[in-house]
Amino acid sequence: MSRSSGPDHLLPPSVRLEGLGLCVGLAAVGVTFAWALHQPVFLDPELPPLEQAPDRFVQVLMPQDTPTVEEDSEPLEATVTKRVTQEEPPPKELAATPASRTEQPENKNETSETQQTLAKNSEILASITGTRGTQPSGQQLHDLFAHGEADMAVLEARTAGVTDIGARPDISSGQRLKEHHGVEVYTHHGVNEMTLVEDDPQSTFSVDVDTASYAIARRKLESGRLPPPSAVRVEEFVNYFDYHYVGPTGDAPFAVNMEAAPSPWTSGHHVLRVGVQGRRIEASQRKPARLTFLVDVSGSMSRPDKIGYVTESLTWLTSRLSPEDSVAIVTYAGRSDIVLPPTSALHTSVIHAAIARMRTGGGTAMGSGVNTAYELARDAYVDGAENRVIVLSDGDANIGPDSHGQLLELIADHAGEGITLSTVGFGTGNYKDTLMEQFADKGDGNYHYIDSMQESRRVFGERLSGTIETIARDVKIQVDFEPEAVIAYRLLGYENRDIADEDFRNDAVDAGEIGSGHSVTALYDVVLQDGWAANPQRRLATVRLRAKKPGRDRAAEEWRTHFPARLLAPDLADTSKGFRVALSAATFAEKLRRSRHVDEVSYTQIARLLNTARRAAEEEDDELLALVHRAGLLAGESSLGG
């Protein structure tokens, strides 16, 4: 689906004047409303005493008995943030709730009439500008104009098709908001702030091995535009690159690689890197895969960069599966169809013929397709195999808020039963990043975006085992900073992966997965206590990991290690090249998403740092440098040296 960016294409001629009147009327009504944020209070968990453990990895702790907590279904636009430097414990989730009217009408009829007018006007404007999702109570939160949060200048900018009106003023409060760029939808998850260790010594989050954000930003930059800030997730930039971490030994699923150095950007600050490397499984040792592909063949997919890449990617992937694997294909448009029942990958010609038969056209009934795909996945289910549904789509689905929530619950339930779900995105113009990311999150799967066949071969070829072979589910990381060592810290990225500290050992709380050979990197900006590094035996932090084995839900296991002072390099030049590449990627993402923490850092400085770190065997490093240069030119930096 395409849509002009001009207002003449958004409103038919007969209602343009009426729309302007509605906007003026709504602005007058909207200023009478205010919103308050509900801030739940969280308690610090009671933790066991620490024991000495190897620096790189870890000893196994006995799983603790914890009460089973019913997991709340996260709404489409649930509000998630890391709140910092507050006197109260930092809340992890916020939900917008309507405050009382500042002025009450004299009678109920007037109240009802006003509410009806507001609702009607909100619906009309929401059809133009989109919605803000659903809050936990189930109430639909329509666009900001329905709540008196915007003036006529902003409305005119939106209806004129301006793709980026800048950061919303309530982003700093932790509100997660959707941005509509043309008809592409992204969600802003806020930006982490510095946290005082005396207020909250623990940083707890779910792992994220997705790479879609980096590929989307690359697509935008190569087309001559800066990506919308909401499309940029720092952790997905960092985790796009291979840092060649040391892997685990024995039966351990993970190894933890740690490094730290003075920050090149802020005097008196240090950068700390925690890198988790998953066990690598050779192709010959990979478990059989039961793959069910759910392919969007609606009219919006009728383009070479969509259905063209889909068919070419599927043909290329299925040619590389083993005879023990099986493939099923479901398509959906106005309805869902079984194109290929579960079929052994040994029958390559049959599979390729089914792929070639796919045709696009019609509406988008994703809900029906998801149900059909799970029916096939259940039919093909083998205990001990990798049972996975993979959605290939632009995410542009005709799903109402209720059915969307039901689908997320359905996906989460099947993940708990051993059928995971991954998403692979395609195309431009109408791409729905928010939906594709949430589906993968709920499905304990990964999320990738294909902007070229080179990226397709990377996802489905070079890293095929990591894409389809899970080594651990619901993986959580907790970094517990030592108050005598660290004054404050800030996690770069992972805003929408934040987990309440007390939920680290709550196995009912969902988290991410790690595939074969996957690595997860977290960078922290930290302020150290004076003289802390003088004693190399002192500890900066304790790093804990908690995860479930792949397959059906079971009790999680926990590991931990410590971060000693001796891992702090005296100078940035003394760190590994991988450390500097990770820092370059993170700072680049921070710059693209307009984080205030890098206001004084230029693209030129990022390029110079990256130049000191480029690895000869890593083509991705050269590509990253080219993207930094391109972004600098688009941002108006006339000269990007070295």
3-state secondary structure 186-201: EEECCCCCCEECCCCC
pLDDT the model gives residue 9 = 30
How far is the CA of 374 from the CAs of 204, 262, 293, 443, 499, in angstroms?
32, 50, 10, 12, 28
Backbone φ and ψ of 225, nearest 5°: -135, 145
- With 0-12 CB in 10 A as exposed, 13-18 as middle and 19+ as buried, what is 427? buried
Distance CA 75, CA 135 (A): 6
3-state secondary structure 584-597: HHHHHHHHHCCCHH
Q: Enter the tokens of residue 538.
A: 């002192």
Tokens for 211, please give them.
Answer: 């790479």
Terminal alpha carbon distance of the chain: 42
Domains present along the chain, CATH in parentheses: 283-468 (3.40.50.410)
Q: Which residues pair with 113 in a beta bridge?
A: none
**Dihedral sign computed on CA atoms, order 617, 621, 623, 629:** negative
Q: Are the CB atoms for 35 and 98 separated by under 8 Å?
A: yes
Residues 592 and 584: beta-carbon distance below 8 Å:
no
Q: Give me the residues paired with residue 234 across strands.
A: none
Query: Any residues with CB less than 8 A from the CB of 184 and at least 6 apart, and which?
Result: 228, 231, 428, 429, 430, 431, 432, 433
- For the chain, what's the residue count? 642
Sign, CA dihedral 582-588-594-600, equals positive
Strand 447-450 relative to strand 419-426, pairing: parallel
- Alpha-carbon span 451 to 217, nearest angstrom: 10
Tell me the whole-structure pTM to 2 decimals.
Answer: 0.74
By CB neighbour count within 10 A (0-12 exposed, 13-18 middle, 19+ buried), where does 61 fall?
Answer: middle
Residue with tokens 């801030």: 39
Measured in whole angstroms, the distance separating CA 152 from the mean position of its chain's CA atoms is 32
Residue 61 carries which side chain, given as an amino acid letter?
L
Rounded to 5 degrees, what are φ and ψ at 632?
-60, -45
Q: How distant, in Å, are the alpha carbons of 41, 145, 149, 335, 403 from that of 76?
A: 23, 19, 21, 23, 11
Name 254's bridge partners: 278
Q: Which of 252, 244, 239 is nearest to 54 (CA)?
A: 252
CA 573, 576, 579 angle in degrees (round to 5)? 95
Q: Are 328 and 380 in contact (CB under 8 A)?
A: yes
Cite the DSSP H helix spans in 223-276.
234-238
Give the phi and the psi of residue 600 in degrees, each rounded to 5: -90, 0
Inter-axis angle of helices 212-222 and 577-592, nearest 10: 70
* Residue reference for tokens 């977290």: 522
Tokens of 500: 């309440």
Please give the average pLDDT of every successive group of 10 residues along the chain, which has 642 residues. 34 38 42 33 31 33 30 28 32 32 37 50 40 35 34 37 32 40 81 97 95 97 96 97 93 93 96 96 86 94 93 92 94 92 95 95 85 93 93 80 75 90 92 93 93 91 78 95 96 97 94 92 97 83 94 89 94 97 98 97 97 95 97 84 50
CB atoms within 10 A of CB 276: 25
d(CA 223, CA 590): 20
Rounded Cα distance between 62 and 556, Å, is: 9
Strand, coil or helix: 520: strand
